[in-house]
Amino acid sequence: MPTKRLLSIALVTLAAGAALRARPAVPAAPAPQSPQQSEVILSISGEPGARPRYAVPDFIARAGDAETQAAARLMGAVLWDDLAFERELYMVPRDTYRTIPAARSFAEIPFDRWRELGADGLVMGSVERTAPGTFRVEVRLYDVRTRRSVMAKEYTGTTANPRLYAHTASDDIHLQQRALRGAARSKLTFSSDRDGERVANAIVERDVKEIYISDYDGANQKRVTVTRKLNIFPRWAPDARAIAYTSYRRDFPDVFISLIYQGTLENPTGGRGQNWLPAWSPDGTRLCFTSTRDGNSELYLMNRDGSNIVRLTNNPAIDTSPTWSPGGTQIAFTSDRSGSPQIYIIDADGLNLNKITAESWCDRPTWSPAPFNEIAYASRTGPGYDIRIYDLATQERRQLTGGQGSNESPAYAPNGRHVAFMSTRTGKKQIFVMGRDGLGLRQITTAGNNYTPDWSK
């Protein structure tokens, strides 16, 4: 049996900002560490030409209390969803498991019954309370044909977020079995008017928009800002510990950074001109943003702390919506310098401008992570917009959405295999995610109107 590895899990705790100062966040609970040891990797295969078939029953609760039992059921269901999300495996539907008796320990697994159900891989888990507020979770992946455990992991941490154990196990399984960096532990950020508040002291009646974050699947939605102002266009820092966004908390647009774990706030642009749409460089040391500080909407670069501001574009048209290439050497952006908004690429030193679209109206480009070399953007296809992707290697375009409502503001998952976007297809503006092939559509938000998603790296 492979050696177990202890992985630390801590609950992310957020604090909301108020006015120019955010209230301190409750620090994440410290998690134990243990040495990580190497393990022999054995892969589970399916029938020739078919994806492996995986089953994930409820985890085994090693205690009779309601919290442990509920956590065991939740972890099994969430892990099934996480593994299904990447579409690398065929997931045996959980409603077919009722004919198989539940195992009370890893020694009692009825492998013959799981084989009859067609499973190639079986993920079994157990949950045990080791101390007040602490779980120990063990996850084993079995090859059903050989009855051999091909992966065994052990996780310890807080009882406050049982879903995180399932997300971590899913990413571990995808990495070990499919050499894939899964997205289960990634997070989304977006702006929302769900709180039903109105902008304070506004001449024109406007809805408040605050910044929210959630798990990749829409669970655990939490509010980050509390300003009764407009807070829009959030972007995750590469280390996923801070969010840069545009805020009207001073009644004009400016760039702010919320450090969500510390509960602190930074304002690198310092109110010099109107500034919006910040975009992090891949290494997190710089931001590209739009500003009118010299009289026109141009792109600027600055260090994370607001120093060394350099103007990137110089054109009478509007240049906005920057996004960095994965290597940090180029920036794609929107400009109407040709008459209508189109997507352009420029080197990060201001040289080699190149126009890549010639459509009716294009906006909000987002550069994919490696290994994909493409840019997603919103293209006007009638009364609304659809998500299109431009392949930089082939210069070909493909369309992900098919005119169901208006679809805007695409953002890539950290592995580049999925795209989050805003759509009006259900009436209000909501966040959806789908595969970069246009399949696997999931709705993430339901409350209020939700806008401009971004995916943590």
| pLDDT (mean) for 271-279 | 95
Amino acid at 448: G
Strand ordering across the sheet containing 428-435: 407-412, 418-426, 428-435, 442-443
Measured CA to CA in angstroms, residue 151 lies from 175, 183, 389 at distances of 11, 20, 37
261-267: average pLDDT: 94
Least confident of 74-88, 167-181, 204-218, 321-335: 204-218
Give residue 40's pLDDT: 54
Residue 200, pLDDT > 90, answer no
Reported as a single tens digit per residue, the pLDDT across 356-398 is 999 999 999 999 999 999 999 999 999 999 999 999 999 999 9
Q: Please, which pLDDT band fits residue 203 given cuts at 50, 70 and 90?
A: low
Same fold, 6-21+47-178 and 187-455: no
**In 41-133, beta strands by DSSP E:** 53-55, 60-61, 90-91, 121-131
Class of domain 6-21+47-178: alpha beta
CB 207 within 8 A of CB 193: yes
Could you report the per-residue pLDDT of 2-45, keeping only the tens digit for each?
A: 333 333 333 333 333 322 223 223 233 333 333 444 445 678 98
Q: What is the CATH number of domain 187-455?
A: 2.120.10.30
pLDDT, position 333: 98
3-state SS class at 45: coil
**Pairing between β-strand 254-259 and β-strand 264-266 as defined by DSSP bridges:** antiparallel
- Confidence bin at 116 (pLDDT 50/70/90): very high
Sorting pLDDT into bands at 50, 70 and 90, what band is 49?
A: confident
Cα→Cα distances 94→55, 84, 127, Å? 7, 12, 19
pLDDT at 401: 97
Pairwise CA distance, residues 31 & 96, whole Å: 37
Tell me the average pLDDT across 292-321: 96
Q: How far apart are CA 102 and CA 113, in angstroms?
A: 11
- pTM score over 0.85: yes
Burial of 203: CB neighbours in 10 Å, binned 0-12, 13-18, 19+: exposed
Give the residue extent of every domain in the chain. 6-21+47-178, 187-455
Mean pLDDT of the chain: 90
pLDDT computed for residue 35 by the predictor: 40
| Whether pLDDT at 137 is above 50 | yes
Looking at residue 118, its pLDDT comes to: 95
Average pLDDT over residues 448-456: 97
pLDDT digits (tens, 9 = 90+) for 161-181: 999 999 999 999 999 999 999
Grade residue 64 by pLDDT with cuts at 50, 70 and 90: confident
* Average confidence (pLDDT) over 346-351: 97
pLDDT value for 229: 93
**Percentage of residues in the chain with pLDDT exceeding 70?**
89
102-110 own/partner pairs: CB under 8 Å, 24+ apart: 102/57, 102/58, 102/60, 103/57, 103/60, 104/60, 105/60, 106/60, 106/140, 109/142, 109/147
